[in-house]
Amino acid sequence: MLLKNIFSIFIVVSISLPTLGQQDTYSVGVLYDSFNATGGEPVFYNLSEGRVVSKSEHWHFSYTKYVGFKTNSGSSGIESVKSCLVHEYPDLFDEVGNARPSEFLSLNESNTLNNFLMIEYPDCKYWQQDSVKPFLKVANSNVWIVRSTNTDDLGHENFARIRLIVGDSENKEAELKRIRLIAERWNANGHFEAPKTSSWFEVGTQKIFWDLESNEMTTSNHWELSFEWLNDELDILINENGHAAVGIVKLDEGAEAVTDPTDQYQVFRYFKDSVKGGLSEPGNQGPLNYNTFGARQMLPTFSTYLIKDGVRVFKLQILNSYGEHNTQLSGHIYFRYEEI
């Protein structure tokens, strides 16, 4: 192992690898790989073994299309993999966080390599583990299109338009809120059914779980939204398992105007909660930035991250979301990494 490390440090070879139209000189310690995450399901990667693995195996980072990157820690996994953003290109965004397209276009796999190679452990000052970043926030108009965690026998998805009503608890001595939901189920005939109003539910510091099909709280695993009163706020989470998700509505009138939740001209796409952690900055999907030019592109920020698994530390840089040659569908994640 010692000889291998010495060899990696002092021997540099010229390798002609296909890149985005350029060739580079690579250290033999730097490895390149890619995986296909176009299907919308999470893909898990083990850096020490250099391969895609299942969620039940040991993994370091994962990617889910339209959601972003996670590490095997905190709210995202059962282990203690930590991450850290150690190098970024500050000119990619202006003072208020808007993307600068020309700066994104100025970076590529070749001209960011030296900064990647210069990173050495322990460059990280603050290791992070993942925590949930809720997709839903309570606002003045709490009307959403929700997709069920279940599908029918034919694999068809179920939907409902829900309105959340928040009120004070009847228990004046307890720090509680109460909620009720008005749900309009989407039926097989292609119409929203008449609204159905749930009971009132007390919300405290213990999560309660809402079921779309019954419009009541449930103790089963087949729930869509959970509710909890935390830090004087109503915390709402989406079930990370199954198909449960909440739609991004494109209509100016909002969710109230949706007549067909399966129409992408009305509901662009359905999302789950995202993650706060070492891989969640600087882009709106951490290593990637969505909609940089206003046309739904997914461009890399070429930031460098450290991934820490016990005593082992890896550098990681995402190079493309369209494959090694920039010719594949979005979700083909191409990256380089190195153990240090």
Task: Say yes or no to pLDDT of 24 above 60.
Answer: no
Reading the block at residue 59, the tokens are 């993994």
Mean pLDDT of the chain: 87
Q: What is the pLDDT of residues 34-89, one digit of tens each?
A: 999 998 889 999 999 999 999 999 999 999 988 899 999 998 999 999 999 999 99
CA 50 from chain center: how many Å? 22
Phi and psi at 63, nearest 5°, equal -135, 135
Q: Give residues with Cβ within 8 angstroms of 172, minimum separation 6.
A: none
| Domain range summary for the chain, segments of one domain joined by + | 30-131+274-339, 135-271
Q: What is the pLDDT of residues 172-194, one digit of tens each?
A: 656 678 899 999 999 878 899 99
Burial class of residue 230, CB neighbours in 10 A (0-12, 13-18, 19+): exposed
Q: Give residues with Cβ within 8 angstroms of 143, minimum separation 6.
A: 161, 162, 163, 164, 254, 255, 256
Q: What mean pLDDT is predicted for residues 296-322? A: 95
Task: Say yes or no to pLDDT of 303 above 50.
Answer: yes
Please state which of the ranges 74-78, 129-133, 265-269, 292-296 shows the lowest mean pLDDT.
292-296
| pLDDT at residue 157, as a whole number | 87
Q: Positive or negative, the Cα torsion across 282, 287, 293, 297?
A: negative
Q: Is the peptide bond before 261 cis (omega within 30 degrees of 0)?
A: no
Task: Say yes or no to pLDDT of 11 above 60.
Answer: no
Task: Say yes or no to pLDDT of 308 above 80.
Answer: yes
